[in-house]
A = this chain, B = another copy of it.
Amino acid sequence: MKRKPAKEYTTEQQLPRLGTSPYLKLMERTASSDTNLNSAHLGLIMLWTGDNILDMVDIDLAAFDITESKLDLLLLLSLHADQELVTPSSIADRLGIRRSSVTALLIWLEKKNLIVREPYAKDGRMTHVRISAEGRTLVNQILPTFWSTCASLVDELNKEEQAVFQKVLVKLNASLEKRLGSGR
């Protein structure tokens, strides 16, 4: 969760915007000799951009009183609604977080009646989790805005730029998911 200060006061004294170049100079001075500076620069901008994108999405979802993590989980349940068994463990595994973290999310979602937890008859230790009708309704309310926010992220890019960007990004993301061992 981050950003979106409503404006506290307008401060008089300010720090100047330095831009990218001081970071690059610092990098030149402090990077190990076997680090490719161009790649590092690119990675840094990617990191900053990722941060900004997360912020944008958070801000938009705030209107629906939900966070990206929770929407993520609801979508996961949506897309696996046909599965006989969806347990907190398997959710944790898929999301790359601990079971206890999933429990916390589920408690919140259940309190709002967005999901249902049902004991699993075939194995008394397990619980089946599914999205509720209310949950589906909420998701359907959120998604049009969510997709339009996603689209707006890359608004500035023209068709051609989008095309090359997409190609490279898909490759990049695949490699990251592989390295993290996580992914959809």
Measured CB to CB, the residues of A under 8 A from B are 2-3, 5, 8, 11, 13-15, 17-20, 22-23, 26-27, 30-32, 34-57, 75-76, 78-80, 83, 85-87, 89-94, 96-99, 140, 143-144, 147-157, 161-162, 164-166, 168-173, 175-177, 179-180, 182-184
A79 to B24, CA, bound (A): 11
A34 partner residues in chain B, CB cutoff 8 A: 148
Verify A27–B183 contact, CB threshold 8 A: no
Minimum distance in angstroms from A65 CB to a CB of chain B: 19
Tell me whether A11 and B89 are in contact (CB under 8 A): yes
Cα separation A149 to B47 with both chains bound (whole Å): 11
A13 adjacent to B53 (CB under 8 Å):
no
Pairwise interchain contact A15-B94, C-beta atoms closer than 8 A? yes
User: Chain A: interface secondary structure?
Assistant: helix
Q: How far is the CB of A5 from chain B (nearest CB, A)?
A: 6
Across-interface contacts of A162 in B (CB, < 8 A)? 38-39, 42
A116 to chain B, nearest CB (A): 17
| B168 touching A157, Cβ below 8 Å | yes
Judging by beta carbons under 8 Å apart, are B45 and A79 in contact? no
Min CB distance A104 to B, Å, is 14
> Which residues on B sit within 8 Å (CB–CB) of A11?
89-90, 92-93
A15 partner, pick from B45, B86, B96, B168, beta carbons under 8 A: B86
Q: Are B97 and A52 in contact (CB under 8 A)?
A: no
- Is the pair B161, A17 in contact by a Cβ cutoff of 8 Å? no
Report yes or no: A14 in contact with B90, Cβ–Cβ below 8 A. Answer: yes
**3 tightest A-B contacts by CB?**
A50-B50, A43-B150, A39-B151
